Every structure is written in structure tokens, then in C-alpha cells.
Structure 1
Amino acid sequence: MMNDFLKIYPLSLIFFFCLLRLGAQEQVLVETESFHQKGGWVIDQQSFPVLHSSYLMAHGMGRPVADARATVKFPKKGTYKVWLRTKDWAPYPVGPGKFKLYVDGKALAPTFGESGDSAWKWYSGGEINVEKDSVELVLQDLTGFNGRIDAILFSNGSDAEPPNELVALDKLRNELLGLRAGLKEMGDFDLVVVGGGVAGTCAAISAARLGLKVALIQDRPLLGGNNSSEVRVHLMGDLDKSYYPKLGRIVRELDNGDPGNGNPNAKEYGDARKFAIVKAEKNLSLFVNTHVYQAETENNIVKAVVGRDIETNQEKRFTGKYFADCTGDGTLGFLAGADFRMGRESKQETGETLAADKADDFTLGTSNLWASLPVDSVTTFPETPWALTFSDEYHIDEEQSDWQWETGFGNFNTITEAEQIRDHNLRAVYGNWSYLKNHKRDKYDKRDLAWVAYIGGKRESRRLLGDHILTQMDIQEGKIYPDATVTATWTIDLHFPDKKNSLYFPDEEFFAGTKHIRVAPYTIPYRCLYSRNINNLFMAGRDISTTHVAFGSTRVMRTCGMMGEVVGMAAFLAKEHQTTPRGVYEKHLPEFMGMIKD
């Protein structure tokens, strides 16, 4: 499937146009995500809001990955100071992510990724003598345990350390890569959907089938978000209990069955199916690997968004009449200045019996699922002193994970500390697996880790606020509002740290519990699906307008997909009547509800 995808989107063809630009002081900046041969290294963009960049990571599950390679042109021959921007992701006291950089076959003296410092910063690689127009760079992973590198800078004539402060670093990137100068206009659209999970994909298809010109922008190479083979969460929520039986048809098309959570067979999650359905839509333009990081607004109206290709660093600008935030994180809404909430409300504020006594920053966490498979012979796995420590007294005796492997719970910010959350999950997975392989050999000698997610399956972050905020009472009392649209069926499912896990890993929990509070099928008002203060912004998915308690029920993906279908219909009516998302509710509600029913 991925080979077919690369035929459609030949990113490597534009590699040399945007890998590097030359500054006046003879500096060459190489963004490692733009290496033309990745080998076994993978691109991680999850911390783009913090780092303003993607990076390469050696995700080998304990086995060194194949080398990554790039050919780099130089402005002139001579001596260059080499700097690498990296970190030690698990310094206990020295972490496992060691790697080497080779320049034209010769290794730089330092071994990187073992500094004992968890901060991203520049490290000196010494000097090289460039004697020809270009050199080959090779990244050699030494451990298979998630070593990572952001960028490489070659500087001729200056020994000054490159900036680590973000504003100065952005300026350096812009100057040397020519980011803004290379900005590409992608066109003007009726609806720009940011986020290619189930909600965003359904929104884009729904609008395109109604005749709108649609852009669907996704920051990963695959569609489906948490339901893609990168994350592997199964679809939940019922479609057959809907007040509007025809709503959910697009979700059914995308649905590849129920492979469970963390299935080791990637094909079970239907990546190719999702791509084929989207590519068949003549009114829909798909832009993958594009992280939207800027919104242009005027008078509370989004005019355009700017994204950066996570592999080539090509900057792209999309203009549109309407926009839909289907990012899960509320990224577009946040960039545009939309009202939002993050964390738990208090009982006093909402009147909900399930709300917290006091408002706080607690959110549901992020999962990195994993699976093992039987093998024919005995295999080994190294001891992991840098990981979480397990014992006979406490370990998790599982051959495959489920949803409970989860980190967050207010101990981490699920947006600004996404990298730390993922890394904590990895330390738990690797530490537990090391214990099982080395101390429960009768059961695990002939099992190997087959798959570990490095992309986090995020549950909760920002919730964008609309004209209606769905509450516990709306759900449990089954209130039917005039703009009742999506029928939701999932329990109020609010996760919390497992008590035993908290006992052994206080403030470092990675395993969750829940109490399912069952509800009768209920409806979500359309007013939860558009921003109350950004006049042309829709939203669908887990970032819609709810309280934290109500979110515990609305967040599952079949339900989110139906939200996307509704947003596509609303965008069609908004354009037809030259009105706003709110205007659809205020002036055209009977027609809108008729579309949903029929």
C-alpha cells in the first residue's frame, strides 16, 4: 500500500529543491526528515507545535535500523564546523538512543544520543574538510531504541554554536531553507478540512459528494488517525441505533471491521481502503504529510492556512471560504483564536455529578499500543536499565496491549508534552517486555515484539467551544434539541490511573482504569459542531464543544465520523445560502435537518 502511495505522491522528486538553501555566511542546514533514503528511520512530527520541525527517529524495537542517507551539496570547498541537533530521550543516567554520523564514509568522533541531557540542543560534531562539491551523509543507529536527530548544520568560518532559542532557530531555518520564499499556493477551496482522521475524512467526502471543492489536509502519510495502522485503535460507537438511519453511510464505507486494538497485522486497519475512497472523489484534493501551523484570520474569519510538508519542508498555503478543524487537538481553532477549554470543569460550573470537585488540567491520556507474536526459535531482548523497572511483585503479563496502556492524566500536557508522553509509554513497554523476556522465559522465550506504535493515540486535549456545550445532563436525560444530529451510543468513559499502577509508579502512571457509565442512545446538537467566535469554522471529532464529562462519550470514532458527515452537509448549505455555520442553524434549520434525515 505504501509503495502505491509513493507512486501517487513522489516526494523524493522534490527533495533536492527544498533540502537546503545557502546563507550568506556559507552555512548548510540539513533537515534530517528530508534525507532521500530513510532506511529504517521514521519521521516524527508529533512535537511540531513545540519544536517547529519534524525529526528522524530510529524506531527499531531493540534492533538497530537500516542506515539513513543523504547527498548534500556545498557552496565551496574548505573546512566546516559540524553541529547536530539531538537529545538523550531517556537519560537514566545515559539513555539508549545512540547513533553515529558518517560523512563520506568517515564517522564523526562523537557518539550522539547518550549525553544524559533530555533537552533538544546542538552538539558539536567536530570539523570536516570538504574537498568536492557534495558529500554523502549516513546516520547509523546503534541500538534500535529510538535515537533521534532534528537537523545537521555545517558552518564555514564560524565556531559559534547555533541558536537553541526557538525564535532565533526559526529565523535560521527560514533563512537557510528559504521556507517563506518557497511558499506554494495550493488553490482556493469551498471547504478546507484540517485533520485526516475518521472525522475529517468523512467531512471531506461528505462535502465533496455534495459538489463542494474540498481540500483534505493530513499531517501523516496515512488517513484514519487513531484508526490507521500507525496507531491501531478500533472503531467504536454504534451506527445502527441512529435517529437518522442514513447518517453513517460514509463511516460504513471506511470501516474495515473490528480488528481490536493493537492488532499486529497492519492490513486489518484498512489504510488502502481509506485512500481508495478518498482518491475516487473528483471534488476532493488530498494533501498528506502536511502539518498546518499557521492560520490567517480577519474579523474572526479564517482566510487561509499554511502548512509544511513534514518530509520535504515545502510550505503550502490553502485559502478557503469555510474551514473544518478535525485535528483532534483543536489545532486550527487554537491558531485562529477560537474559544476553547482544556481539562476538567468543576461541579459548580457545570452542575454535572461526574465533574471534578475543582476545575483542573486533568485530561485523558495517550496510548502507544504494542503486540508480540510467536516465533520458531528462542529470542532475546536486552536489559533496559533506562526504562521503567518491573519486578516479580509488579509487571504486566500480556502478549499484546489494549487501551489501558495510557499516559497523561494531568501529569503531562497532551499537546506540549506529546514527545514526553510517547517516550514514557515506550519506557513502560520496553521495560515490561524486557522483564517478561528475561524473567518469564517459559512463556516468552519464543515470542518477539512484532509492533510498537511510535505515533501516539491521543484521547483528549482542547475542546473548541460552540453555541452549545454538550453536558452530562444532555446525555443522560436524552434531550432532543431542534438541531439534534449525530446519534451517540458510547458510555461515559472517563479514564483514570489504575490503582495498582499508581501504587508502584506514583505520578508516572502508564496504565489506566475506567468505569463505564452506560447511556441510552442520545443526539448531539449541530451547535456543538461550529465555533462560537470564529465565524467560518466547523469542527468534528474529539475537539467538539462538550464538557470533559460529555467528551467521555462523544470521542469514539464512528460517532466522530458521523459528525464529519454532518459538517459536510452544513458546509454545502452554508455555501448555497451564502451564510455562516451559525446561519445554517438560525436561518436554514428545517432544510438542514431534512438533508440529515433523507
Structure 2
Amino acid sequence: MKRGILATLFALVFALSATAQKHVFVEAESFGERGGWKTDQQSFDVMGSSYLLAHGMGNPVGDAVTTVKFPKTGTYRLWVRTKDWAPFPKGPGEFAVYLDGKPLSKTFGVSGEAGWRWYDGGDVTVSHKDMELRLKDLTGFDGRVDAILFTRKKGFVPPNEKADLDAFRKKMLGDLAKPKSAGNYDLVVVGGGVSGMCAAISGARKGLKVALVQNRPVLGGNNSSEIRVHLMGSINYQNKYPEVLGKIVNEIDNGDPGNGHVDGKRYGDNRKLKLVEGEENITLFLNMHAFGVEMKNGKIASVLGRDIETNQTYRFSGTYFSDCTGDGTIGYLAGAEYRIGRESKAQTGESMAPEKKDDFLLGMSNLWVSTKKSEKSAFPETPWALQFTDEYYIDAHKADWQWETGFTNLHQIDDVEEIRDHNLRAIYGNWSFLKNKKGDKYAYHALDWVSYVGGKRESRRLIGDHVLNQMDLQDDVQFEDGMVTATWTIDLHFPDKKNSKYFPGQEFMSATEHIRVAPYDIPYRCLYSKNIDNLFMAGRNISTTHIAFGSTRVMRTCGMMGEVVGIAAYLAKKHDTDPRGVYKQHLEEFKRILKGESLAK
């Protein structure tokens, strides 16, 4: 594997800042030393940027430090873009800003106002052109910083409205916002979860030149150490093509540590990375968030990505693209047909569908785990978090899949930060109750890990030439292009009734009913876009109804989808056709490959 050109770009001794005539703009995520602060890109599509997060589980994290280069000395007005993430009446995310070792006269993150905005830090004296800028977390409870602006323009107030802010940010970033070429590829795979890894490896082993674009520093998605969800679904039970499909999934699989294991190494980040690094035909781009597409003649010509730390923008040109983002981001940006929410019974004919279409979705989880220590420990009161009582609290030392938020009242893409934050308020509030009110049981326990990266289940589903439905799963429908054998139940979550009673409209616990189905085959036609001619998809955003999605969404099954996509992209290139052309004209050859037969036959 050739490591992406981004690998060396972050070896900087000062933050990348863009200077206009009277402004010096510093993106927080570009700090030279981030200390204990985490780079969070989950809201990039809403905010237009990543940001730094002080995620210390109640313990202040190490300082983020950088050197800012000023064009002139003198007096500047300093502005900080941040938010009070839990204003009840004010939240816990307080932090201080230091300039050359001197703190500003006010702190930030506890305004009592909801939403991201610029806050006035007052006048500061810049005595020399290189000055140290420092962010000091004061609580460990998820304070956050988007950007810092120094301005000499009298009376200037930086914009808060998104369109104006986007334009301002682009201007301030200057050359960093101008796309550099990241190369031209046979297949550009966006999303480095299990499905994306499998698509990239499968295509690369067929000789394709592949770019794998992942917006986190690790591979694996929900199965990474950042989220810690175990792999489910079987690759062996009644697999239609056992000679080929599932082999790459097996290479990725690091065993089954369960959900939310305290030891993040059990999820095999290094194993996954080495596997991809071993493929000479893959160029890997970690920390790269895809945020735009460029179209030509109804096809995707390139994907635009921005490094979530350096903020340099890149152009990934290609012949074929695979959306393995989970959110259907690339398809959405390209204008692909998609659905989100539940279809009505009249639309799909499914007995399990609701009478009316709605926006109900499976939610997002942030897992956590505590362990028993040799000494007692304390945890602060959390008036800004959800409040628990003896009548209702969660008596557990760790989380499992049931900790889930965002069914109907929040949008899994537009409100992803709020969903994550609501999960954090539930986790911290419940843990504070256990530590302070149930100390006899939990006195020696301490939080070891709380995920700040959300484990998503459902959002957009891109529409292909076939939309898999409940009847396909239950009626043993035989498809000529049936390829990926799926074994998971129809597993659709909903708010836990008791949780709804005590937190109506603010549920964070879920329940499910498993509707068992016999193994069935997912058609290849569910793995490419109906109206974007060079777009494949694999993972939870493939072409299904909401009901069928309840079964197809588990990661081993998604990984096999990726394996199929890699082979399909090889055939498309071989025959100079598109994904639909592979189905219509080369299906028999496709099947022979899946059977492990010689291509000469």
C-alpha cells in the first residue's frame, strides 16, 4: 500500500493559519500540538469544519498549543468560535485561552446559550510576530473549539450564518481551500469501515488502482477502537459463494470482544491498518473527510476531501466510486436517489411497515465502560446532564447496544452532534447518580472509556435497480444476481418503554424484537445507484427498505457487500462498462469469479 500524501503534512511546529489583510484565522484542529484534545469531524457536513473536543470524562485534558504567525504587531480583537453544549443553565465545557502564557480575562464554553457562535475575547496585544496560543481545558467535560480569529479591522464581527461563515472560512483558508490533486484512480472508495475496507481490498487484489478515503485516524468504522461494536452476521452459514465471499472479512475480523470492551486493542485497529498497508494497489487517506463531488455528464468525476487536521483540500479523480460512508454522503452530494425514514405499507406492501411514511430511524450509540479499581474514586455532580432518581436509573458498569438516541426527534445527519451530546448527558448523568447515590456498589469503579465518536445505524439509503424488501427476505425469493448471503434477523430498534416513561422525547435506551428469517441473498442490483452511472455502494446505505435494512445492516454482511463491489468494479473496467452493464452483460462471468473458477472459462 502507498500511504497517502497527507501522512507527512501534519508534522508542523505551528498551526496552519490563513492571513487576510487584517485577519489572522486559526482552525483549532490545526494546532501543532493538540495535547489531550480530540479532533472531531462528525458535524463537518453541518458546520463546514472539524473542531477540537476536550473529552476527558470529567478529568481536564492536556493543553492544545500552537504558534501563531502574525503579519504585524499591535492590538488585535480576539474572537473564539465555540458553544455551550449543555446549557442547563450553563454547561460543563469551560476552557481558557492563553496568549504567550497570559490568560484572557474571560473563559469560554459556559455562556448558557445554545448553538455554535463567535464569542468576543476582547483586545489582546501582539508584541511579536510569533506568539504561543494555548487552549486550557478546565473540566474534562467536552468543551469544544472550532476556530480563533485575531482581527485588526475595527468593529468587525465574524459571521455566524452558515453561508456567510462558509465563505469567510474559505477566504481565510486561502490556498488550503484550493483542491490539490490526490491522483486518479480506477476506484475511489469513500468510507473506511468494514464495507469500505473490503471493497478497496477486493478491487485492489483484482488489479485496480484504488484510493481508500477515511475521515478518522483509524480504520474499521463501528468495529474500531473508537466505537467498539463487535462484528455480527455469519459468513459461513449457507453462503452461496463460500469459495470467495467472506475471505476478506475473515482477514479483518479480530475476534469477538463484544460491545464496548475496555481494551480498545481487542478491535484490531493495527491488524486492519497492516492489512490495507499490505496492498500495493491501495493508497490510503486517513483523516480525510469527503465533503463534495464534481460531476461530468451525469457521472462522478471526482470527490473533494479535506484533511480534518491540516485543512488542506484534495481532489480524488476516478472512473468508479463506492459510497461506503454509511450516510450515503457521496450519493447524496451527486444527486443519487435515496430514501430516509420508514416507507408506508402502501408504498412497499410490507406487513411490518407503518400505515404512513415517517422519519423514524434507528438511533446512534456512544458506548462506555467502567472498571473496578483498587481505590475509591469520586465523580462530580452533573446538574447539566440528565437527572436520575431511585425510581429510575441504569444499574450497569458498562453500556451495550441498548444505549441509543435519535429515533424521531433528531436527524441522524443534521443533528449528529446533538445526538452524541444527548448520549453523553445520559452517560454522565447516570454515572454521577451511581457514584454519588449508589456509592456502596460503585465506590471503587471509575470510567475507563466513553466513546465520543457515535456508532450510527441508519440514515440515508441509496436507491439501486432493486430495492430489497421484507418479502424478499421472508419468501425465499431467488434472484439471478443474488450474491451476498445474509443471516441476521430483521432487527429494528425502538425506544424502550420504561425509558420513554421517564424521559419522554429524550429517550436514550432502546429495545428490539428479532424477526427471524432464513438465510437469503442480497442482489447485486442493490449495490449500485439507479441514477448515478458510476456509483457503487456497500454497507448500511445500500438499496433496501427500512424493514429490510434491519437485517442487512450488520458488519460481516456489509463486508461481503464490499467484496462484491470490488469484483464488480474490476469487471466494469475490464469491459469498459458501468455497474449496470456488469449486471446486464457480464453476470455469468461475475458468477464464475464468485465460484472461484478460472476467468478463462
Same fold (TM over 0.5): yes
The 2-side partners of 1:365 and 1:300 are apart by 33
The 2-side partners of 1:368 and 1:159 are apart by 42
Match among 487, 490, 510 for residue 489 of structure 1: 487
The alpha-carbon deviation at position 159 of structure 1 amounts to: 2.5
The 1-side partners of 2:4 and 2:177 are apart by 26
Q: How many residues align?
A: 592
Spell out, residue by residue over 1:308-329, the C-alpha distance to the aligned partner (whole angstroms, 9 max, x if none): 0000001010100000000000
Equivalent residue runs for 1:392-407 within 5 Å: 392-407=390-405
1:76 paired to 2:72: yes
Letter paired with 2:517: V
The 2-side partners of 1:42 and 1:182 are apart by 25
The alpha-carbon deviation at position 167 of structure 1 amounts to: 1.6
The alpha-carbon deviation at position 480 of structure 1 amounts to: 1.4
SS at match of 2:420: helix
The 1-side partners of 2:337 and 2:457 are apart by 20
> Which residue does 2:599 correspond to in 1?
none
Match among 521, 538, 541 for residue 539 of structure 2: 541
Q: Which one is further off, 182-191 or 208-217? A: 182-191
CA contact (8 A) 1:19 1:31 kept: yes
Match among 473, 494, 504 for residue 506 of structure 1: 504
Match among 40, 47, 57 for residue 43 of structure 2: 47
Letter paired with 2:191: G
Letter paired with 2:449: W
> Which residue does 1:153 correspond to in 2?
149
Spell out, residue by residue over 1:189-214, the C-alpha distance to the aligned partner (whole angstroms, 9 max, x if none): 00000000000000000000000000
> Which residue does 1:105 correspond to in 2?
101
CA contact (8 A) 1:179 1:313 kept: no
The 2-side partners of 1:102 and 1:6 are apart by 34
SS at match of 1:406: coil
- Sequence identity percentage: 62
Equivalent residue runs for 1:423-572 within 5 Å: 423-572=421-570
Change (3 A) 1:319 1:444: same
The 2-side partners of 1:329 and 1:585 are apart by 25
The alpha-carbon deviation at position 7 of structure 1 amounts to: 13
The 2-side partners of 1:133 and 1:543 are apart by 49
CA contact (8 A) 2:5 2:182 kept: no
The alpha-carbon deviation at position 11 of structure 1 amounts to: 3.9
Using the size of structure 2 for normalisation, the TM-score is 0.97
Letter paired with 1:434: S
The 1-side partners of 2:229 and 2:410 are apart by 22
Q: Which one is further off, 428-437 or 178-187? A: 178-187
The 1-side partners of 2:408 and 2:524 are apart by 30
> Which residue does 2:110 correspond to in 1?
114
CA contact (8 A) 2:486 2:519 kept: yes
Match among 397, 409, 413 for residue 415 of structure 1: 413
Spell out, residue by residue over 1:91-127, the C-alpha distance to the aligned partner (whole angstroms, 9 max, x if none): 0001100000000011111110000111100000011
Spell out, residue by residue over 1:166-193, the C-alpha distance to the aligned partner (whole angstroms, 9 max, x if none): 1211121111211466421011100000
> Which residue does 1:213 correspond to in 2?
209
The 1-side partners of 2:145 and 2:448 are apart by 24
The 2-side partners of 1:325 and 1:179 are apart by 28
Change (3 A) 1:143 1:6: farther
1:21 paired to 2:18: yes
The 2-side partners of 1:59 and 1:6 are apart by 28
Match among 577, 585, 588 for residue 579 of structure 1: 577
> Which residue does 2:371 correspond to in 1?
373
CA contact (8 A) 2:368 2:450 kept: yes
The 1-side partners of 2:281 and 2:389 are apart by 56
Letter paired with 1:116: G
Spell out, residue by residue over 1:360-381, the C-alpha distance to the aligned partner (whole angstroms, 9 max, x if none): 0000000000000111101000
The 2-side partners of 1:460 and 1:466 are apart by 17
- List structure 1 runs of 4+ shifted beyond 2 angstroms: 5-16, 179-183
Equivalent residue runs for 1:81-96 within 5 Å: 81-96=77-92
The 1-side partners of 2:254 and 2:85 are apart by 36
> Which residue does 1:135 correspond to in 2?
131
Letter paired with 1:21: A
The 2-side partners of 1:7 and 1:542 are apart by 29
CA contact (8 A) 2:378 2:443 kept: yes
The 2-side partners of 1:347 and 1:176 are apart by 50
Q: Which residues of structure 2 form unaligned runs of 5+?
A: 597-601
The 1-side partners of 2:221 and 2:153 are apart by 46
The 2-side partners of 1:536 and 1:6 are apart by 23
> Which residue does 1:59 correspond to in 2?
55
The 2-side partners of 1:407 and 1:464 are apart by 23
The 2-side partners of 1:15 and 1:202 are apart by 36
> Which residue does 1:261 correspond to in 2?
259
1:167 paired to 2:168: no
Spell out, residue by residue over 1:482-530, the C-alpha distance to the aligned partner (whole angstroms, 9 max, x if none): 0001000000000000000000000000000000011111000000000
Spell out, residue by residue over 1:108-155, the C-alpha distance to the aligned partner (whole angstroms, 9 max, x if none): 111100001111000000111111111101101111000001000000
Equivalent residue runs for 1:195-234 within 5 Å: 195-234=191-230
The alpha-carbon deviation at position 300 of structure 1 amounts to: 1.7
The alpha-carbon deviation at position 15 of structure 1 amounts to: 6.7
